[in-house]
Amino acid sequence: MKYFEIKRNIGYMFYQNGFGNISGYQKEFLTYYLNQFNDIPLVRKHNALFYPFSSEKYVLDYELQSQYYYNQSTSFMTINEMYCYEKFSDEYNVCSNEVDRNAEIVYESVIWATVIIGFLFYLALLTVCKTKSVKRRLTAPYALPILIIVFNISFTSYTLSCRSVNYVLSICFLSAIVGIYGFSLIRFSYLRYLYLFLSKAKSETTIKIHKFLVSSWFGIIGSFVSGFTYACIWMIICIPYIVDQKQYSLQAELNIMNNIGSLIILIDIALNWKKIKDKGLLNFLSFEDPFGLRIDLIYFLCIMLITIVIAICSQFTYDYEEVVTSVLSSLACLCTYGLGGGTAIVLEWRRFILKRRNAVSDNIKQESRLEELMKDDTFKELFKMYCAKEFSLENALLYEELENLKEKDDVLVTVETFKHLFETYFQSLSKYEVNLPSPAKKELVSIYENQQPVKLSLIRNIVTTELMLNLNDTFERLKETSEFKKYSFSRDIQLKNSIV
Amino acid sequence: MGNIVVSPHDKEGQHHMMATPTSNNPNGGSAATAKNKSEITVLLLGAGESGKSTLFKQVQFFHGVGITHDQERIELIEIVRLNVLENAKNLVAATQHLNIPIEQPENRETAKLIINSLNTNDLEDPSWSKRLYSLWKDAGIQKAYENREKFQLYDSTEYLFENLDRICSDKYVPTVVDVIRTRTKTIGITDMKFDVGDGKQLRLVDVGGQRNERRKWIHFFNTVDAVVFLTSLSEFDLNLYEDNGYWRVKESLRVFNEVVNNALFYKVPFVLLFNKRDLFEKKIATKSFSKYFSGFNEAEEKNPVACIEYMTKLFLNEITEHPLDTVSVKTLSAIDHDNSKQVFEEVKQFIMTQQHRE
């Protein structure tokens, strides 16, 4: 209890070389105090061994201050605000007892743990730096952690004791993180919808501009420029606060950064709501998003929640407040590591392990180009549109329906489902009768007449070869269209940039 | 004549023009053609495997559409080899079905591989050329081939097996003849356009021939200016792909009847093409034609002219509504480049004169 009381009411800290900008009666008090209590243990000298880089400091003990406070009915709150009301201010620890030291140790070790994790992150990054997941995140995995490391180091006791400089640095780093990651995010979204832009592009110049925008050089330089610019903007906004010696809350910065991220993921969820409802959240996060972009954005949400918790906690006084705050903010830093490429590392390691496990079965399963393309929604839509115009939609519809059945766990197709398939696609003169040879049709009729649940693999065995031949006939012609060429151009770029 | 016209936004389509999705829209297209008769739409109709796409490909080739891109070549290699495999599979399956054993043990081994695991990439290995050729020459397979009317087999089987040494090589480059000879089942509807002089364009529409595909033809009936109906002369001993118990000639006649007597086509020039004349002449040398047509004079059955005359009568008898003076009948061998060119030129002239008369 005493520790926090001291923290709240700590009287005054001054430097050996002078009193600074203080008012008349404060000076009066100090003179009185120094005359009265010089060499008395109520004034403590800064522990030079524990803080090798700090200048020597003297700090007034709480009891003495309150004693004077009652006598003179005055307060030192203005000065407190300047130096000692900081959450992370290390000055108050100078006059702390045993409890304070423990808190100090926890505070420091949490920060250093975050820094060490940052370096370990780089080691881990080395193992996967050539994978698609890392490449598609461009500069973020390399730039973000170093910024977080420097940001953390600037808050240890070993570094500058000038809070203002700390603020300037931290705002600078955080803005750079937002700028760099934000640029990667925008570039990624742009690449993902590249086909949409290209399909509307009419002139050669427009296509050239798109080609320039997707080049990796533009990406790398652009991300740094964006980080730098964004940092500058925030400096301009914040420096007046610092000069006025008013406290600027870092949380404002964090909140803005999070709001952007949260907004993006909320829009993303809203746009894909149907998919999530149909196929589940897990599918949305893994299959639909092979490089974990959405997991990145969830980190944004986490960071936002953490800052909200920190903001709420700072409204109350309680034991170990500093410890709780530093642990929470370190968690936010860890989330930023995840944002910068931690997701990519985990995904790639997991993929590596799974690949080794499934190496054998992978070789057996070979997919045709069309089957591979059909996994891409943009292509599927384009293909279906073309099929409709060539009057062969039935094949694409049947393919889709069989694929959907495959995703469900039950390998047995129920009588009702087969009845639906048969009456839609297989029966003569049905709505979407598929062009199948006589033997295949006879087999399907006999299954229909059996009225028994049937294995999906059996239906696929009968139908797939012919269905793929049918689809390929249409696909051969689709390949010659300008629409497909545009699609294929954007897809090649996406593959090169590891977007898909 | 001769310039291929491509859709305006399809700059790269110059060499290998094909239908663009937009050009296929029957609604959009019909409005334009009704007002502006500078575009003549010609439908290629007929039952499955009557040779519509073969003629379509020939027309493309003699209008300068060639195989220009490496990627296209690679895909064509795939299609040709797929045809080889399909034929081999069908033949092997037929030996089991017809209870004709494959005689040589090593050929039986090859047959097993074909059914179970062989894919088109394996055919790059020249050793497959010998193995497949040896299988093809096996007495059992040959016997099955002689009975090919009892199962489904492509017309190009013999051609492909005789050219295996070319096809089964990593240096294989498909020739125009290879492309013409390969069979791909047409799905849906495709078209091409080319200039025919007088500022007019001819739009040739190729369609699928199986029963389910035929239901899609109706989409083009409104916009049509001429119909070319193909029927295969050599199908007199064959059953349908989509319904094995159904005689192909009967199906062709039925389809012809439906199309030619369709009210939408009363005023439209109509060309009946008897295709596969080459195959037909070979076939009647070994098979009895009169066995399939009770009304035909048995003594004349080795005379192709008489047979074709009989077939012509059979088809023309189906015409109940269409004015006969706007119907033209020709024979064709679509795999023969020169013959196709000549016949198509005649067809075009006929359609153009009919248009002028109108």
Interface confidence, given as ipTM, is 0.72
Residues in B closer than 8 angstroms to A485, CB to CB, are 12
Cα distance between residue B286 and residue B152, in whole Å: 19
Residues in A closer than 8 angstroms to B242, CB to CB, are 435-438, 441
Inside any domain, residue B11: no
Of the candidates A434, A473, A478, which has its C-beta nearest B212's C-beta? A434
Same domain flag for B346 and B236: yes
Q: Please, which residues bridge with residue B275 across strands? A: B232
Q: What are phi and psi of B231, to 5 degrees?
A: -145, 145
Q: Is B50 assigned a ligand-binding role in the annotation?
A: yes
A429: alpha, beta or left? (left if phi > 0; alpha if psi -120 to 50): left
- Is there a contact between B18 and A480 if contact means CB atoms under 8 Å apart? yes
3-class secondary-structure state, position A432:
coil
- Is there a contact between B241 and A385 if contact means CB atoms under 8 Å apart? no
Q: What letter would DSSP give residue A80?
A: I
User: Nearest to residue B65, comparing CAs of B73, B57, B55?
Assistant: B57
Amino acid of residue A425: Y
User: Nearest to residue A465, comparing CAs of B119, B226, B145?
Assistant: B119
- Is there a contact between A473 and B185 if contact means CB atoms under 8 Å apart? yes
The average pLDDT across A34-38 equals: 50
Exactly one of B33, B41, B54, B157 is catalytic; which is it? B54
Cα distance between residue A321 and residue A4, in whole Å: 9
Specify the higher pLDDT residue, A9 or B230: B230
Name every residue whose Cβ is closer than 8 Å to that of residue B313 and which is 6 or more positions away in sequence.
none
Cα distance between residue A413 and residue A425, in whole Å: 15
Cα distance between residue A379 and residue A392, in whole Å: 16
Instruction: Give per-residue burial for B229-266: e unless 16+ CB within 10 Å, then b.
Output: bbbbbbbbbbbbbbbeeebbbebbbebbbebbebeebe
Inside any domain, residue B254: yes
- B212, B220, B244: which to substitute to probe chain A, counting the most A Cβ within 10 Å? B212
Same domain flag for B206 and B353: yes
Q: Please, which residues bridge with residue A45 across strands? A: A58
Q: Where in chain A are all domains bearing CATH 1.20.1070?
A: 101-357
Last residue of a domain, one of B173, B202, B236: B173
Name every residue whose Cβ is closer than 8 Å to that of residue A176 and which is 6 or more positions away in sequence.
A143, A147, A227, A228, A230, A231
pLDDT digits (tens, 9 = 90+) for A128-143: 887 777 877 778 888 8
At B308 the pLDDT is: 92
Same domain flag for B48 and B82: no
At B22 the pLDDT is: 37
Q: What are phi and psi of A488, to 5 degrees?
A: -65, -35
Same domain flag for B192 and B327: yes
Q: Over 90: is that where the pLDDT of A158 sits?
A: no
Last residue of a domain, one of B145, B173, B201: B173
- CATH number for the domain whose boundaries are A363-496: 1.10.167.10
Same domain flag for B196 and B333: yes
At A257 the pLDDT is: 57
Amino acid of residue B26: P
- Note down pLDDT in tens along chain B; length 358 residues: 333 333 333 333 333 333 333 344 444 444 344 445 688 899 999 988 899 999 998 988 888 776 666 667 777 888 899 889 888 988 998 898 888 888 888 888 888 888 887 778 788 888 888 889 999 999 999 999 988 888 888 888 999 999 998 998 888 888 888 888 888 888 888 888 888 877 888 899 998 888 888 878 877 777 889 999 999 999 988 888 888 888 999 999 999 998 888 888 888 899 999 999 999 998 888 888 888 888 888 888 888 999 999 999 999 999 988 888 889 999 999 999 899 999 999 999 998 888 877 6
Inside any domain, residue B143: yes
- A383, A386, A392: which to substitute to probe chain B, counting the most B Cβ within 10 Å? A392
At A333 the pLDDT is: 86
Q: Does residue B142 have an active-site annotation?
A: no
Q: What are phi and psi of A327, to 5 degrees?
A: -65, -45
A205: alpha, beta or left? (left if phi > 0; alpha if psi -120 to 50): alpha
3-class secondary-structure state, position B7:
coil
pLDDT digits (tens, 9 = 90+) for A228-276: 998 888 777 766 665 554 444 555 555 555 566 667 777 777 777 777 7
Q: What are phi and psi of B157, to 5 degrees?
A: -50, -55
Last residue of a domain, one of B173, B197, B217: B173
Q: What letter would DSSP give residue A238?
A: H
Q: Does residue B183 have an active-site annotation?
A: yes
Cα distance between residue A18 and residue B273, in whole Å: 111
Token pair for residue B199?
Answer: 């500022």
Q: Where in chain A are all domains bearing CATH 1.10.167.10?
A: 363-496
Structural domain including B134 reads 77-173
Distance from CA of A257 to the nearest CA of B (A): 43
Q: Is B188 assigned a ligand-binding role in the annotation?
A: no
Assess contact for B318 and B295: CB atoms under 8 A. Answer: no
Residue in the structure block whose two tokens are 């074909």? B114
Q: Which chain B residue shows the shortest CA-CA distance from A436? A: B242
CB atoms within 10 A of CB A420: 13
Give the DSSP per-residue string, B148-159.
GGGS---TTHHH
Of the candidates A387, A438, A485, which has its C-beta nearest B240's C-beta? A438
The average pLDDT across A330-346 equals: 85
Q: What letter would DSSP give residue A453?
A: -
Token pair for residue A344?
Answer: 């990519």
Token pair for residue A418?
Answer: 């087969």
Same domain flag for B210 and B249: yes
Inter-CA distances, B114 with A312, B25, B99, B160, B215, Å: 72, 41, 18, 16, 35
Same domain flag for B88 and B161: yes
Assess contact for B124 and B78: CB atoms under 8 A. Answer: no
At A373 the pLDDT is: 86
Amino acid of residue A324: V
Same domain flag for B99 and B144: yes
Q: Which chain B residue shows the shortest CA-CA distance from A201? A: B9
3-class secondary-structure state, position B195:
strand
User: Nearest to residue A491, comparing CAs of A365, A343, A387, A369?
Assistant: A369
Name every residue whose Cβ is closer than 8 Å to that of residue B295 and which is 6 or more positions away in sequence.
B310
Return the half-sphere exposure (C-beta side, CA atoms, 13 A cut-off) of residue B63: 27
At A80 the pLDDT is: 35
Cα distance between residue A228 and residue A175, in whole Å: 8
At A62 the pLDDT is: 46
Q: Which chain B residue shows the shortest CA-CA distance from A433? A: B212
Name every residue whose Cβ is closer than 8 Å to that of residue B209 and which is 6 or more positions away in sequence.
B46, B47, B48, B49, B50, B52, B186
- Is there a contact between B13 and A435 if contact means CB atoms under 8 Å apart? no
Q: Does residue B254 have an active-site annotation?
A: no
Fold of A101-357: Rhopdopsin 7-helix transmembrane proteins (1.20.1070)
Q: What are phi and psi of B327, to 5 degrees?
A: -115, 130
3-class secondary-structure state, position B201:
strand
Q: Please, which residues bridge with residue B328 across strands? A: B271
User: Nearest to residue B226, comparing CAs of B277, B274, B272, B193?
Assistant: B272
Of the candidates A387, A428, A437, which has its C-beta nearest B241's C-beta? A437
- Is there a contact between A435 and B210 if contact means CB atoms under 8 Å apart? yes
Q: Over 50: is that where the pLDDT of A46 sits?
A: no
pLDDT category of residue A22 using cuts at 50, 70 and 90: very low
At B11 the pLDDT is: 35
Exactly one of B58, B157, B182, B210 is catalytic; which is it? B210
pLDDT category of residue A76 using cuts at 50, 70 and 90: very low
Cα distance between residue A26 and residue A69, in whole Å: 11
Q: Please, which residues bridge with residue A412 across strands? A: A455
Q: Over 60: is that where the pLDDT of A45 sits?
A: no
Specify the higher pLDDT residue, A165 or B6: A165
Q: Is B334 assigned a ligand-binding role in the annotation?
A: yes
Q: Does residue B166 have an active-site annotation?
A: no
Same domain flag for B53 and B195: yes
Residue in the structure block whose two tokens are 């007892």? A97
At B7 the pLDDT is: 35
User: Nearest to residue A293, comparing CAs of A174, A407, A132, A148?
Assistant: A132
* CATH code, B129: 1.10.400.10
Domain count, chain B: 2
Q: Say if B69 is an interface residue toward chain A (CB within 8 Å).
A: no
Positive/negative CA dihedral, B158, B163, B164, B170: negative
Q: Over 50: is that where the pLDDT of A355 sits?
A: yes
Distance from CA of B187 to the nearest CA of A (A): 6
Specify the higher pLDDT residue, B231 or A41: B231
pLDDT digits (tens, 9 = 90+) for A108-118: 888 889 899 99
Q: Does residue B214 have an active-site annotation?
A: no
